[in-house]
Structure 1
Amino acid sequence: MSIRLKLTLSYTGFVLLAGILMLVTGWLFLTRVPHIGLVFVPDYQLAVASDFAPLAAVTLSFLLVFGLAGGWFLAGRMLAPLNSITQATRTAATGSLSHRIQLPGRQDEFRELADAFDAMLAQLEAHVGEQQRFAANASHELRTPLATTKALLDVARADPARATDPLIDRLHTVNTRAIDLTEALLLLSRADRQTFTREDVDLSLVAEEATETLLPLAEKQKVTLETDGDIAPTTGSPALLLQLTTNLVHNGIVHNRPGPGSVRVTTEARPYTVVLTVENTGEPVPPDLVPHLTEPFQRGTERVHTDHPGAGLGLAIVRSITHAHHGTLTLTARPGGGLRVTVELPAAATPRP
């Protein structure tokens, strides 16, 4: 039972109670107090009751209807600010912290609640923005020294006069992983801030481009790539959506089972959304671990291919890009092993003829 209905019933109950008390008072006045002229009429109380009863029933019926209609209207007016606060809460829950209630009217309890909620959103937006700027700035500052180190290591590895030194190869691997992590943090920050221009994108073409790019890696690891589906038009950043698809396909390859495996990429067009699905064969993923796979630096299974250590941000980046495009991300453990990842995005608006 909603609060509006409870308030309506309470208001109706008070109106009916007041009406009943007034009718009882009138009945007592007519039947208990002697009236000049009526005292000469035998059993005049019965005549008064027969005339008073229909009037009382009509009065109570009117009060019931009036109480329900008036209570429903007044409760709606009283709770309208609460509906605005609820809508703002739902908007903030989707990650949009820039929305403000800005409740008009006099300074009452609802206005104080709305102002406090706006202040909380402003502080959250400032803190999140500060964290994102720090991650972006720190990652950007790390790119130059890491690139310089990589260049020096490449020169050392390419020097034919040097003796084989496994330490240099190890340093090169660690440096490459640090560069990948830095680039992933920059991409994650960019997706969270939604600083990109929206364009028309066909997810089916994006899926084909991602699979073609990763085909050499798949062949090297004996993983079969399969693509299928419909034209799936949406709007967003082509670069970010390509990164999303590439991350999913790459995860499907490196987290596959040893030996022959497969990664299947499909697209689907629905009435109001488009869907990208990537599923792979692999080791069984515990169901209780699936909800945590999109957290940064989480992995569902050990990587089969040690030459692609990754940064642990693949699915976190996928989640951020999906949310930045107002979509939903669903992860499901396949019964036979592996993972099915579904990305559902709003379909592109169909142009009017």
Structure 2
Amino acid sequence: MTPDISPSSATLVVGLLYAVVALTVWALLLHRHPRVPLALWSLGAAAAGLALSLLGLRDQIPDWIAMTGAFALAFGSFPLRVMALRLDIGSPPRIAWAVGAWLLMVAGYQMATMWLSPADRSLYAQAMIALGTGVLARQAFLAATVARSRNGLALAWVETALTVALSLRMGGVMLGWLPVRPPGMTWDFALVLLVALAAALYGNLGYLGMVLDKLRRAEYRARQGQMAEAARRAAAEQTAAELRDLLAQRDQLAAERDQLLRVLAHEIRQPLHNASGALQAAALLVQAPTPADTRQLSERLLRAQSVLGDVRSVLDNTLAAALMLTRRDPLVVQDVDLHLLVHLVLGDLPESQRARTQVDWQTPLRSAELEPGLVRLALRNLMRNAFEHGGAEVKVTLRIEEQDNPPAMVLVVADNGQGRLAVLLEAGAPPAPPDTTPTPSSTLPRRGLGLFIVRRVMALHHGRLVLSANPPHGLQARLVFPDPSDTPA
């Protein structure tokens, strides 16, 4: 049963719907899409809708408006929408080609009006509309491919369907199977109107969706760019912080080196002066016209030798401190025979100090994983400190023991002398610069490199230096070396 709807009324409704949807797309994308392609698409879609509306009113308005005006608008709608799609994918719009194509189609229709029959003129118009729809479908496929948009593909397919429907009707008319102007709502005309209705809806909505897809991708790229920029900014800030830390470390290292140089100059100048005086006195005794007393000569030479030993110790400490301040590589340890290590430490002491030193083995342990040179230097400093600050009759004990909780090997240097204040010895700061102002003999001696060296050696071994009183009087220094299995790599 054929519905009681006239072709003119249906064409008018589809045309109005086409124009309304086109204006809706323009309103929705007005502030979200570039105005030129949006205006071109909206004008083209509205022109197509207005052309259908005029064709639906051709029995009520003059023929030059209903036919010539309608087809002029229909022919112009395709170049406008094609230029909009080209601009959306970044291609040049080719305005000259679009205007030329529109003028050519309009001129062709005018010539058909003058030279052809109404039926042939209608066939020409339908052929031009089918051609324009095909070109629009092809450009829509290209835009959808470039933009990777499913909505763009929907636009392309609906325009393709309209091209096929128009081509089928035109072919039927040319073969004489279908009338040029149907007397009523025939199946072929209904097919064309249904596809045109789909183009009015899904064509414009497909363009809207394609633009929204483009906006979402742009928003995603912007968000990714912001994240990348934030990551770069964080990396730059981290690099700046690391550079600040490196500069601070460099400044600290430079300050410590300057401090070491001042300590070196102070601690070597006076011993060298004393050694020079002792050697000059010994030389005067040798060069005296009368034979010198051998005992006096020996005392002067021993005094010079002792002072030179002090200078050597200061040089060793200073060089070791400088090396440890600049050290960046992890410490390389080896299995060291503790008896040999103790023998070497005792060999570093003068004969008079070795006679007042006792070794106490409180563990069967005979070897440990250490860096022998640094541990030897640390023990030598503790022994010399004990003899220097303990008094003339001080006795020193070097004790080797173990502890259980946590497991560790401990080297203890204990003396029975007057000792020093624990507060001063517990200070972990690097050696203080020399104080050149005269101080009374009862004032506690200033800090030197000895304890600083010991603490750095223990830090490199992941151990610690523990200073405490040695009842009933005296001081003991404990070098605690943790078990290697409990030491971080």
TM-score (norm 2): 0.37
TM-score (norm 1): 0.49
Larger strand proportion of the pair: 1
Higher RCO (CA-CA < 8 Å; seq separation 6+): 1
Larger helix proportion of the pair: 2
